[in-house]
Amino acid sequence: MDGLSISLARYRFHFTATTPVQFPEWAGSTLRGGFGHALRHAACMTRQKDCNGCPLQATCPYPALFAPPARTLPLQKLTQAPAPYVIEPEGWGIRRIEPGQNWHLDMVLMGRALHELPLITLAWQRAAARGLGMGDGRSALTHVEVQHQDGHLHPVLENPQARFADHPIPPLDLRLNSKGPVHLCITTPLRLQENGKALPPARLDAGRLLMQVVRRVSLIATCHGSGPPHWDYGKLKTQAQAVRDERQLRWLDWTRHSARQQQTMQLGGVVGDWTLHDLPPEFLPLLKLGEWLHIGKETVFGLGRYHIRQDNSPIVTKGPEHSWQAIEKEGKSRTPQIQPSPDF
């Protein structure tokens, strides 16, 4: 798998509430809606209602970031290419933030989105000032940090009036020990589908999981990285189907309202522990990439997030919120930029 390269970084945006802010059980969809509205207002020069047919569509950052156009890719023809970002709220659960209290969100940026960090930051600043969540609670952007691989947060914007500091981003080590099991702790609903329908825990297996990782990495590399990977997908599928696994998964429903489609959607998925045994080495760096790219449906909202652990004891998952807090304390899911290791 030589030659695969994906530039990737996770940034943390800090805010202080100026009026009460109320977030739903999972804030990913709410945050993305506010971000998209503010991004379009900041980037669009023609003010057309629809990007299709706009003379600036090919160069405007809004469609490139928020709604990349359809593409024909090696794995399938997409109605829309994957967005070059993932929004990661603080955690699961309804939350009320009182005036004066601080809150934050993380955002994984990839490809062109890395170069649009100032515009993305302006969009978040305006979205928060305009109002986010139920009741349109307002907040003020205070500062922005980039996360290093060891979990350290480095300031890149000390206040909204300042300029971004130059910040070289260290590479991420994608190596995983090929000996022993790999434990995945799935912290936000992982939604794998077949024929447009979500698969329950009983119908999941290692083959489906691993090929979802392959698909996600391939799509991101093609659309926002070095280009289509030259992989033998048939061989990878055969190898994935032979992997032994153990699962302790449960279904977690998540409901979101789509303002664009004017309907409420039920978008549940599985959370819990998934242990993989005797993994072929080809999948190890891909699983590391998946920690930050997320996998499954609705990754842009922060769904399909997992954390890898390699030891002799599986991770005990009490629920999405507990798992998330444990990961934050361990500081193991912090990465700035991905430059695959030489053997990738």
Which range (47-61, 216-230, 267-281) has the least confidence?
A: 47-61
pLDDT digits (tens, 9 = 90+) for 166-205: 887 757 788 887 788 999 999 999 999 988 888 999 999 9
pLDDT of amino acid 327: 29
62 and 152 belong to one structural domain: yes
pLDDT of amino acid 312: 52
200 in a structural domain: yes
The CATH number of whichever domain residue 286 belongs to comes to 3.30.70.1900
pLDDT of amino acid 321: 34
The CATH number of whichever domain residue 99 belongs to comes to 3.30.70
Residue at a domain's end among 141, 157, 173:
157
291 in a structural domain: yes
Which range (40-54, 218-232, 256-270, 286-300) has the least confidence?
A: 256-270
pTM score, whole prediction: 0.86
128 in a structural domain: yes
- How would you label 203-232 residue by residue, b for 16+ Cβ within 10 Å and e otherwise? ebbbbebbbbbbbbbbbbbbbbbeeebebe
196 and 326 belong to one structural domain: yes
**DSSP notation for 249-274:** EEEE--EEEETTTTEEEE--EEEEEE
147 and 256 belong to one structural domain: no
Other beta carbons less than 10 A from residue 53's beta carbon:
8
pLDDT digits (tens, 9 = 90+) for 25-82: 999 999 999 999 999 999 988 888 888 888 888 889 999 999 887 766 655 555 678 9
219 and 291 belong to one structural domain: yes
pLDDT at 211 over 80: yes
Number of domains in the chain: 2
pLDDT band at 266 (very low <50, low <70, confident <90, very high): confident
141 and 198 belong to one structural domain: no
Give the range of the structural domain holding residue 226, as residue numbers without chain letter: 182-330
116 and 236 belong to one structural domain: no
Task: Please report the sign of the dihedral spanned by the C-alpha atoms of residue 140, residue 64, residue 89, residue 198.
Answer: positive
